Chain A
């Protein structure tokens, strides 16, 4: 791997240069919370932050987008695909967990057979410059789900904060190309040693792994267990956990029409909402919070492994810090796991 370095004081200039050529999204503070937003200048970009409240998935799956539009006159209907050309896009300062989430979304949307070209259209232009975590939070559990505070999976470049400078790890060819263009300095030996120290120190700080060996098997056996009911009793069936989650990707498709002009729109949807699975007959296979929360857990920690060979959670902790009733996914997993171990359910 190649290692470059850049002074922290040069980051503004670095960003302002990139802005000339690319669309850039970076973490900024807006209305008292940190969000990823497209920026016009490096002003206001914050890199000392834990993580954004909303995940950056919105850049590849916006909350709502037009798939097709149409207009009807006397005897013809014109249907138009909405695949606008996308400008090269850099997601700057994303956390490694979020960078990994893009790999997961790729598996869902870019399969051979039913490739989602709206997703691909947006995704193809994305370059991710992520920022390793020197301050993992109490809600972070990325190491349990296969990542880590400096995991490079999904990133094109990864920054490591070593005090006055950042080391830039060059992960992909795409990343290498950008670095070459910008003519960044190679990192020196002592800087690399410092980087190793920083990484070790941070890794020691992260909450210990939940020890959940063969979690999938345990979950598969727990489906009919009585624990689900008690564990989820406080759940409000809201959309917070799924909408903020970087890997949740479920959507609805609806038509909106006015004066014979209309659009077919795709909109985020959530397995926590009762109407998600409500059939036309009125029958609902997941009628209560219990079945719906179970779906969320099973989908992420069992079904996704079957279908995509990857856990559907990157351990970012958003669902933990933002759930209005503090229904902590780690506690749910651990409880299920250990009650299955002890054969209680």
Chain B
């Protein structure tokens, strides 16, 4: 990955200097090996903190709603898709933000690498283009970055920002994958197998809501899981309660989920949350020929009515 940090810093500095942004939301070095962390830069001296590498996984558009003033934001392809939706849903005003788009080559999953290190403490990480050399007391491994990408990044077809004010570096080559192979494969299983899989995934959930809170589109002031009057969902981690939470969340995200994978990355216990959301995306694509977050002027399919809307999902009773 070309070092884009310095270009990002320059851009950030310019925006702050000219008063075009009051704050820049970007990434700084994390406190752990293999890790970058969101940061909020308000003065020019601090732009030096900004970095860019393959660990900048967080979807920073999550912070746009609560941000005050004019905001400059570092955004990958998927992040810009979220911004498009946020603007469409009138949560963010286009004029309020300056998008510093950064073409992405897929983000590396720290936890996959940690697994390979088998509990050994990492003392040094060297970046060798395609590989990371990881050393520690009892450790010496080379990891190919593209073998440790987040699952969402592996199938992403929008690595380049879809909307931006400034573009850093040069565009990445888009992956030519069939977008929904995973969904088709899963659909091919028997209903017992699918149930088994989903309920197993759900059984791991501790209902910490990191998935929801990391999601840029889960911005409801009061989430349905939290309301008490009426109480839609029970609070336990029993199967019914947890499953209901995830199913309702994924339905609420149908046609809105931008597949950035923020939910899955945030989950501490490896729940395959994307499984449900991907199915929703595939259905929305099939029924409405719509892909989320590409075009600010394209109406959202589930909140607009068209006489010729597909009604395949209606049940004949």
Contact = CB atoms under 8 A, between A and B. Distances in A.
Q: Do chains A and B touch in the complex (CB under 8 A)?
A: yes
A321 B32 contact: yes
A50 interface: yes
A172 interface: no
Contact of A48 (B119, B213, B265, B270): B119
Majority secondary structure, A binding face: loop
A138 interface: yes
A325 B56 CA distance: 10
A53 B206 CA distance: 12
B206 A234 contact: no
A32 B268 contact: no
A187 interface: no
Q: What size tier do the contact residues of chain A reach?
A: 35 or more
A234 B210 contact: no
B235 A254 contact: yes
Given A234-B40, A252-B235, A33 B214 contact: no
B207 interface: yes
A99 B214 CA distance: 32
A238 interface: yes
Interface residues of B, number: 41
B37 A265 contact: no
Interface string A43-70: 0000011100110000000011000000
A290 to B, nearest CB: 11
B40 A320 contact: no
Contact of B37 (A48, A63, A238, A326): A326
Interface string B199-214: 0000010111110111
A331 interface: yes
Shortest 10 CB-CB distances between A and B: which pairs?
A239-B208, A324-B266, A326-B37, A238-B210, A328-B31, A50-B119, A236-B213, A322-B268, A234-B38, A64-B236
Interface of A: 31-33, 48-50, 53-54, 63-64, 135-139, 205, 230, 233-234, 236-240, 243-244, 252, 254, 256, 265, 267-268, 270, 273-275, 320-322, 324-328, 330-331
Interface of B: 30-33, 35-40, 58, 62-63, 115, 118-122, 137-138, 204, 206-210, 212-214, 226, 234-238, 265-266, 268-270
